[in-house]
Amino acid sequence: MIQKPKGTYDVYGSEGQTILYIENVLRALMDRYNYEYVRTPHFEASELFHRAVGETTDIVTKETYDFLDRGERKMTLRPEGTAGVIRSFVENKMYARDVMPVKTWYYGPMYRYERPQAGRFREFYQFGVEVFGSKEAMADAEVISIPVTLYKLLGLKGIQVNINSLGDTESRERYREALIKHFEPHLDELCEDCKERFVKNPLRILDCKVDHDLDIMKQAPKTIDYLNEESKKHFEEVQEYLKAMDIVYAIHPSIVRGLDYYTHTVFEVEASVEGFGSQNVLCGGGRYNHLVKNIGNVDVPGVGFALGMERLVTALACEQIDLCSEALDVYVIPFEDTKKEALSLVQTLRLSGFKVDTDYMNKNMKANFKQADKKNARFILLLGSDEVKENLLTIKNNHTKEEYKIQKEDLIAFLDEAFLEECACKECGGNHEEME
């Protein structure tokens, strides 16, 4: 039997329903924030990711899916979303718009050839935002607020916002020199990858998954100790704006992120959820004031973040948050000679906005009632030959077990009123006198 490729997974059943629910929440949230949707190709010229992500990152050196197309062009399956969005921003001259900043969001599959483990796959889905044109700390704070708002809307409670600053170019260079001075006497203690990083980009050492528990890693200099006055001011303003939005955060000087392009603010949101494990970072991002220029020779600052759908779904499961609604509004039970009428009625109800199903397996009446219970149908609609002749419908409330006979043309109004009354009962807890 042919099986799925290693590091990939199938989505079906309740997980599929959960993901669709989250996707709908994402779209609605981005509409509230007034962000525009962008979609870029799943593969781009390899040079794009080498310029954007960085030659010294593990993503580029070890994890990209690279190939030559039939025109002998070097192509790469996108390992992350930012580079492609920036390419689109420059190529389509979005920087020339009258209104700035340009605020965008994307969602789709990414590809990295890494060792599959809990929360990590070779094909994975990312949602992300990119804001172009503003250097203000207010933009950083808004970007951080988006995942925080999303997690609150979904009901996640055990989340923690962690922030840091890498500073501007001057600050980063001062910090780089401090790292070299710190690690140089201890090169023999580092893994082979870190020895190479020491030469090319010492900041990458801090992101090492092999040496992260060594004392020399824990005692490494902190970025915030090397910020110049301008960088300190920006970081302080970010914190002030987060406080203004009632977003609780912690400063984590060890956060450097795994990509080379960040400047100033970097952040992560992690889940403190029992059973979630060590891969508990739900999302991460930050500011990149020089990346657009590096890719497209247009000097426009940017800030953004990305989150993985797989880890989010895992966190929801660990907190036992069920976003799926398997309940049917109506289950239609036809008789042998009323199947066409039943299917017509099902179509009418669906076009009117109700979630409806019927019997496609020619079950008997008892099995159909069991099927309605399994699907948690709120109403059962019985359609016999006598009802069809008299233009009547028998409808049963599957919760209260009350049964009604109504005219066919009154069905939509009956259901609308029933669901409206049900909503009112939920609001007042069944006390209709208080509602009046």
Q: Number of folded domains in the chain? A: 3
Same domain, 215 and 272: no
**Which residue would you say has higher pLDDT here, 56 or 74?**
74
Q: Is residue 240 part of a domain?
A: no
What whole-number distance in Å separates Cα of residue 161 and Cα of residue 140?
13
Question: Are residues 425 and 279 located together in one domain of the fold?
Answer: no
What CATH number corresponds to the domain at position 40?
A: 3.30.930.10
Answer yes or no: are the C-beta atoms of 267 and 163 closer than 8 Å. Answer: yes
Percentages helix, strand, coil for the chain (3-state, rounded to 5) are 45, 20, 35
Which DSSP helix (H) or strand (E) runs through 259? Answer: none
CA dist., res. 344 & res. 349, Å (int): 9
Residue 360 sits in the same domain as residue 222 = no
pLDDT band at 299 (very low <50, low <70, confident <90, very high): very high
For residue 37, what are the β-bridge partners?
105
Instruction: Identify whether 387 is part of a domain.
Output: yes
Average pLDDT over residues 237-259: 90
Q: Report d(CA 357, CA 374) in Å as an integer.
A: 12
Q: Let me know whether 335 and 253 are in one domain.
A: no
Do residue 190 and residue 267 come from a single domain?
no
Q: Quote the CA–CA distance of 287 and 305 in Å, as a whole number.
A: 9
Could you tell me the CATH number of the domain that includes residue 345? 3.40.50.800
Binning pLDDT at 50, 70 and 90, where does residue 184 land?
confident
- 375 in the same domain as 430: yes
190 in a domain, yes or no?
Answer: yes
- Is residue 345 predicted with pLDDT exceeding 60? yes
The domain boundary residue, chosen from 264, 290, 318: 318
**Residue 45 forms beta bridges with which residues?**
75
pLDDT over 50 at 374, yes or no: yes
State whether 48 and 183 are in the same domain: no
**Mean pLDDT for the stretch of residues 331-359:** 94
Arithmetic mean of pLDDT, 170-181:
88
Q: Which residue, among 384, 405, 389, 393, has the nearest Cα to 349 in the 3D structure?
A: 393
135 with 179, same domain: the answer is no
Question: Is residue 7, in this structure, part of any structural domain at all?
Answer: no
> Of 352, 348, 268, nearest to 311 (Cα)?
268
Within a domain: residue 405?
yes
Mean pLDDT, residues 275-296: 86
Q: Tell me, letter by letter, the H, E, C secondary structure of 145-168.
A: HHHHHHHHHHCCCCEEEEEEECCC
How would residue 277 be classed by pLDDT, with cut points 50, 70 and 90?
low
CB atoms within 10 A of CB 407: 12
In a domain, 324, yes or no: no
Domain limit, last residue, from 289, 318, 347? 318
Q: Looking at the predicted structure, is the pLDDT value of residue 323 above 50?
A: yes
Taking 50 as the threshold, does the pLDDT of residue 193 lie above it?
yes
Q: What would the two tokens of residue 37 be?
A: 């949707």
Query: In Å, how far are 121, 141, 270, 330, 383 from 308, measured between CA atoms?
Result: 10, 20, 12, 35, 47
Helix (H, G, I), strand (E, B) or coil at 396: strand
Question: Which pLDDT band, with edges at 50, 70 and 90, does 218 fall under?
Answer: confident
Looking at residue 426, its pLDDT comes to 52
| Mean pLDDT of all residues in 11-26 | 94
Residue 8, in any domain of the structure: no
Do 30 and 127 belong to one domain? Answer: yes
Is residue 314 in some structural domain?
Answer: yes
My answer on whether 93 and 142 are in the same domain is yes
Cα angle at 306 between 302 and 312, to 5 degrees?
160
CB-based burial label for 338 (10 Å; 0-12, 13-18, 19+): buried
Same domain, 136 and 256: yes
Average pLDDT of the chain to the nearest whole number: 89
Lowest-confidence region among 53-67, 211-225, 395-409: 53-67
Domain containing residue 180: 170-227
- The verdict on 297 and 334 lying in the same domain is no
